[in-house]
Amino acid sequence: MTLTPVHFFSHGSTMMLREHCSSTDYWKQCGDEALKHGIKGVVFMGAHWDTIGDQIQVSTNPNPAKSPVAYVHPSKYVDYELNPDIRTANRCIDLLAKAGYNVSGNDKFDWIHDVYLILVRMFPKACPPTTIISLNARYDPHYHMKVGSTLRHLRKENYLLIGTGGSVHNLYRNRWAPMLRFRDNFAQDSPPETWALEFRQAVEDVFTKNSGPALRRAVTRLMKHPEYRDAHATDDHFMAAMFVAGAAGDFEDEGTFAVLGAETWELTNMCNTQYTIGSW
């Protein structure tokens, strides 16, 4: 039985919708491959939608709007037609409820650029049927890893599972001046700081040198890394990594190591690394 690949994509700043780079090329390449293999749909865990208490939600909004993005001309995204997959959303709700989650549909949720930026880049011609799973705002790594393991079976049905967050993503430590003054998000007038380089390397080592349940242990353990809090001032952009480890860290995944597909530094200290576990 074939298992679809799983992606951990670092979506970076909103400028990744406006400027081309090796990461945007890689997203397009992954989208082309997914279409070539006839995916049934895409299931996302993002970074920008969380639910409080002990809940998790799945988007069941049949006509979601798009939250606007700063610094990007609306022509880059306003006409892109979203394609919510309500049937699969309800199926995810059932699977998560059976696994013990306090889960419900949210028919009011509007989509945010963590998800539609990736969709526009991967599938510029048309959005495939798409499901979005929220985060839980307690940011428990094991909870989010289990969401991935619960939905992992969808990989056997030709769904593409994607976590969209960031490998090094601390908005408080970015150097914003070149972007604000010159719209140059890729400016590097000094090298990234040591904590960013260290954590970026730790993420690469974990993803590319562990597989199966060892990957799950290693990814969740990254939140105890001494540089973690510098690399992620808030936990929201790292939960997608947990989801990915859950979705691609079963015993059946042993021996399948992540590939670092592309990497783009933005705003000096933000590292947008793109990983894929498994192949078509």
Q: How far is the CB of 48 from Fe ion (least distance, A)?
A: 6
Rounded Cα–Cα distance for residues 194 and 60 (Å): 42
Looking at the Cβ atoms of 114 and 263, the one nearer to Fe ion is 114
Report how many residues bind Fe ion under the rule CB under 5 A.
2
Q: Is the dihedral of CA 18, 69, 229, 207 positive or negative?
A: negative
Q: How far is the CB of 62 from Fe ion (least distance, A)?
A: 25
Looking at the Cβ atoms of 7 and 155, the one nearer to Fe ion is 7
Q: How far is the CB of 140 from Fe ion (least distance, A)?
A: 20
Show the binding pattern over residues 74-113: x = contacts Fe ion (CB under 5 A), - = does not. Answer: ----------------------------------------
Helix (H) or strand (E) holding 174: none
- Residue 50 as a binder of Fe ion (CB under 5 A): the answer is no
Looking at the Cβ atoms of 9 and 195, the one nearer to Fe ion is 9
- Residue 114 as a binder of Fe ion (CB under 5 A): the answer is yes
Q: How far is the CB of 47 from Fe ion (least distance, A)?
A: 5
Rounded Cα–Cα distance for residues 29 and 271 (Å): 20
Q: How far is the CB of 116 from Fe ion (least distance, A)?
A: 12
Reading across the β-sheet that carries 102-106, which strands appear in turn?
102-106, 55-59, 130-136, 41-51, 159-165, 6-10, 270-277, 258-266
Rounded Cα–Cα distance for residues 23 and 85 (Å): 26
In the chain, how long is the greatest CA-to-CA distance? 52
Q: Is the dihedral of CA 16, 270, 258, 220 positive or negative?
A: negative
- Residue 266 as a binder of Fe ion (CB under 5 A): the answer is no
Lookup: tokens for 202: 């730790």
Binding to Fe ion in span 233-262, by CB under 5 A:
none
Residue 223: DSSP 8-state: G
Amino acid at 76: K
Looking at the Cβ atoms of 47 and 120, the one nearer to Fe ion is 47
Name the site residues for Fe ion (rule: CB under 5 A).
Answer: 47, 114
